[in-house]
Amino acid sequence: MVSKIESAFNEQLNAELFSSYLYLSMAAYFESQNLKGMAQWMRMQVQEENMHAMKFFGFINERGGRVTLGKIKEPKTEWSSPLEVFEDTCQHEAKVTSLVNDLVDLAIKEKDHAANGFLQWFVTEQVEEEATVQEIRDKLKLVSDNPVAMFMIDQELGQRPVPPAPTAQA
Ligand code: FEO
């Protein structure tokens, strides 16, 4: 594994762990607002991000690289509404998509076909992640401050199933 790819993948591992930490912070906010379904949805998202991080952990090791863990940035802790949380989530996922795209560009530049193949899972995953959070954001925009509709969205989001266990393989 060339060192440029190794260090970029370690940075992405850190970014995935930050995503997990950010969503855990959002879960804490929802708990504080007694929005248990949204808190549960965010807990599932935390597991999903941990799974993403572990994919990078596995791949770096499989390719003979060295995983080095750095500091995880402090996440935001307060929001003014569920809509603001999901607006932030949309922005965050768009940022992650651009990070993944940059990694693909690097893998192509370095002619690392294995890394490029591995990253294609994330390219597809980001399409799904962005679509899912945009749909929730749009629903929240529609309901505005209607408490009954908010209750129903909270119930719906609480049904999110547990994501698959982490694997080293994409
Ligand atoms: Fe790991 Fe939400 O992207």
* Domain extents in the chain: 3-157
The CB of 89 under 6 Å from ligand 1? The reply is no
Q: Give the CATH superfamily of 3-157.
A: Ferritin, core subunit, four-helix bundle (1.20.1260.10)
Q: What is the 120 CA–ligand 1 centroid distance (Å)?
A: 14
The CB of 92 under 6 Å from ligand 1? The reply is no
Angstrom distance (rounded) from CA 166 to CA 3: 25
| Contact between 124 and 136 (Cβ < 8 Å) | no
Q: What is the 93 CA–ligand 1 centroid distance (Å)?
A: 6
Atom of ligand 1 nearest to the CA of 16: 1
pLDDT in tens, the chain (170 residues): 899 999 999 999 999 999 999 999 999 999 999 999 999 999 999 999 999 999 999 999 999 999 999 999 999 999 999 999 999 999 999 999 999 999 999 999 999 999 999 999 999 999 999 999 999 999 999 998 899 999 999 999 999 888 877 555 54
Three-state SS for the chain is: CCHHHHHHHHHHHHHHHHHHHHHHHHHHHHHHCCCHHHHHHHHHHHHHHHHHHHHHHHHHHHCCCCCCCCCCCCCCCCCCCHHHHHHHHHHHHHHHHHHHHHHHHHHHHCCCHHHHHHHHHHHHHHHHHHHHHHHHHHHHHHHCCCHHHHHHHHHHHCCCCCCCCCCCCC
Cα distances (angstroms) measured from residue 53 to each of 67, 141, 166 = 11, 31, 9
Q: What is the 54 CA–ligand 1 centroid distance (Å)?
A: 12
